[in-house]
Structures are given as C-alpha cells and as structure tokens.
Structure 1
C-alpha cells in the first residue's frame, strides 16, 4: 500500500513537471513576435519577473524539505526559462520600460527574495524555517492565481475570449490538478491548497470560453461609440441649460437697463426748476 502510494505520488509529480514545462513554454509566441518587431510592443515584464521569483521561492522551500525533489527539477527549469524571457525583454524594451523592469527585478528578486532567505536563516531554525517559507509560498501562490481575475472581468465585459487562450487555460488547470494531488499525497498542504484555487479559476476560465466563444464580441469601438453618444447627450443637456441661463441673464440685464432709465428720468425731473404760471392781477381804481 505504501509502495503504491509512493508510485502514485511520483506519477503526479512527473505529470506536474511535464505540464508545468509546457506552461513555461507558452510565452514563446509572444517573444517571437517581440523578436520579429524588434520591440516589446506594450508587453510587460512583470509576469516573467513574478514567475522567476515564484520559482526561486519554491526551490528554497524544496531545499528545506527532504521529499519534494520534483519541485526542484521543474522550478530550476522555470528559473532558467524565465531568466531567458527577462533578458530577451530587456534587450528589446524601450529605455523607460527597461528601467521599470530593472527596478522590479531589484525590488522583488534581490531585495524581496534576499530578505526572505536572510531573515529565515537567522530568525528561524529547523522545522520552523520550513513552515515559515511554506506559508510564504502558499500566500504568494494564492496571489498569483488571483491575478487572472482581471482577464475574466474583461471576457465578461467584452463577451470576447480573444485575450484568454484556451490551451493555456487548460494547461494551467491540468497543472493545478497534478500539483494538488502531488501535495495531497505527500501531506504537504502548502503545495496542495493554492492549487485548489488554481483548479477552480481554471474551470471558470474554460466555462467562460465555451460560453462566449460563439457570441458576437462587444468591441472596444462599440463601447467607445456608446460612451461618445452618452457624452454628446450630456453636452446637449449642458448646452440647453447654458442657453436658458443666457436667456435669463439677458432678461435680467434688460430689466436693470430699464430701471436705470427710469431712475435717470426721475432724477432729471427733480433737477429741473418748477415753473410758476404768470398770473396778472388787475386792480380796478
């Protein structure tokens, strides 16, 4: 029974390595496009820097354990591939994007990972060190799995699956399944728990793909046209209110002008001397 469990654990670990390797290779078309255009063309380096940090973190966790060698193999490959992606990005990125990428690398890889290693080495020991690093891996993996929620929101908003490649979604879902059972069979919940969320989000992505793949997408152009119409209506209302306010101002100025005229007329009448009728009195002698 124990032998069968060990073989099953090994099988899920090997399958997890294979599927994860396919996931690591998924950005190759993107970088082929970068190479062809000789420009990063608006692509961001953050996913690859985060991927490198995650792989380094899992390697450090695996080194503190004794029975998770398959984590070391796949994440070592991941570190190599993600480093190639980052170097490729820095080669073709414009100066501003290159500087932002270098800042992120220093902040996350050098400072972040460096602090985790130094603090856990000096402030913890033995089993406690592995527990602390395991919790850090768990929380970070949950954050990584939550990141695609922005893509799901865009799919629902535009009713288009253009920005959600189904093959990558399926690969990530399979990867989550393999690593969940690998962690479960090992009794390592730091590996198993994050992949529950990964599997759930992967299933949601697949459902949304089949739900919206045949629907007419709400394009950005249509959304812009709708927003423009709303703006035109608002401008028209504002213009009507403005016209009414102008009419009121004209009416008030007219009244003020008439009052001023009346005031001037009364002042002129008050300033003129009063004429007394010439009366001749005849005295009879």
Structure 2
C-alpha cells in the first residue's frame, strides 16, 4: 500500500475500509441465513480479514487516532446491533433474510458508487488522475462475478428477481456493474496523462504545506527583527560606557 511506503496517510480516509468491512460483515451474516453458503462465507471472511489489515496499517500512520477509534466503535456497534436484531427480534427467518439483504445491498451500492464523488473534479480538470483505477476495475470485476454467481444461485439479493424484473436496492450487483461501467467510461473520455492536475486531497495538502512554510518564514523574520533590536540596544548601552572609560584614560 502507498500508505505503508510513504509512512503517511496523506489525503486518504479510512471510511472506504470501514464501509467495506461493514458490508462484508452483513453479507457474512446473510450467508448464514440462507443455509451457511460456503462460498459467501469464505469470501466475506477473507474480506473482513483484509480490511482489518488495511485499517491497522492506516491506524499506524494516521495522525488522528481518536477519530479512527470513534469510527471503528460506531461500525462495531452497528454490526453487533444488527446481528442481535436479526437473531433475537425478527422471528421469521425469511423476513430477517430480506431485511438484512436490503441493508447489505444499500451499503454495497454506496461503497461501489463512492468514487463518483470526484466526478465534478474529473470533468473540471478533464483528467481521471484523481480516480482510483485499480479499485474501480477490481470492484467492477467482482460485481460481475457476483452477478453471474447470483444467476446460478437464483437469489434475489445477489441478482434479479425470478420474475425477471429488477427490484430496487435488491439487485446490488446489477447496480454496481452499471456504476462500474460509468466510472470506467470516464477513463476513456478523460484519459490519464502526464502533467495532469493533482487530486483535491493533494492540492489541499500542498496548500497546507505552503501555509505552514509561510507561517514559519514569518516567524523566523520576526525572530530576526527582535534579535536585531536587542543587539542595537546593547550597542547603544555599551558604546557610551566604552567612551567614558576612554576619556578617563
């Protein structure tokens, strides 16, 4: 990861890792409700472990650890509350499956569409340099694979309904494929090129660095002025004394 190489999180945020962990935890629970589906359990277990590793690396090099603590506690509390609600409040297993599947779909779709928050920057700069190509491509591929797997499984939350009509928010992978195609199309319309504008996070980091440098320079200049003033006062005091001693001699 770039964070581990640079030993600095830069403008990155831990929110995508937390959302991915949250979605994986919900899909893991969903897999237990449909008869302990081994494929979904293994895949989502690996996703939880990998995101935990990403979060640990982020935590090691971030400067706002209390904020990460609050985010993580909120995510864990949400997972625990949802598990409790599904296991002890909802008596109908099919009702529990539908509600949990709907929640997991919403989170997964939001995670897939999250890079589109930079679409305004992409259009303005006519460059996709700020978009994470590897993440978008891998998410698109995974969504396609899960969509195909859902067709084989015949599950409404993994693919379309048995009647053939898409159900809003239940066809998460179908929506994710569409979002992936839109994001990949941006790379064809606004290809990356050398010398393309930096991402908003990089620009903000540069502006912060320039402000810090300006403040440091002004502080140094003020220090020099104070030092010069003190030296002038010393000279003004010492010179008459030396003149008096010279006159007595």
Matches within 5 A, 1:73-112: 73-94=42-63, 97-109=64-76, 111-112=77-78
2:127 to 145, 154, 160: 160
Partner of 1:197: 175
Query: Where does structure 2 lack aligned partners over 5 or more consecutive residues?
Result: 160-170, 204-249
2:114 to 147, 164, 169: 147
Instruction: Give the length in aligned residue pairs.
Output: 188
What TM-score do the two structures reach when normalised by structure 1? Answer: 0.60
Deviation at 1:185, TM superposition (A): 2.2
Distance 1:59 1:65 in 2: 10
What CA RMSD, in Å, does the superposition of the two structures yield over aligned residues?
2.3
Distance 2:118 2:14 in 1: 17
Distance 1:102 1:176 in 2: 30
Residue 157 of structure 2: SS of its match in structure 1?
A: helix
CA distance change for structure 1 residues 36 and 173 in 2, over 3 Å: closer, same or farther?
closer
Query: Where does structure 1 lack aligned partners over 5 or more consecutive residues?
Result: 1-27, 225-285
Distance 1:199 1:152 in 2: 17
Partner of 2:34: 65
Whether the 8 Å contact between 1:158 and 1:217 is mirrored in structure 2 is: no
The answer to whether residue 137 in structure 2 is matched with residue 137 in structure 1 is no
Matches within 5 A, 1:12-31: 28=1, 30=2
1:120 to 86, 91, 94: 86
Distance 1:38 1:171 in 2: 25
Distance 2:99 2:172 in 1: 16
Distance 2:72 2:132 in 1: 27
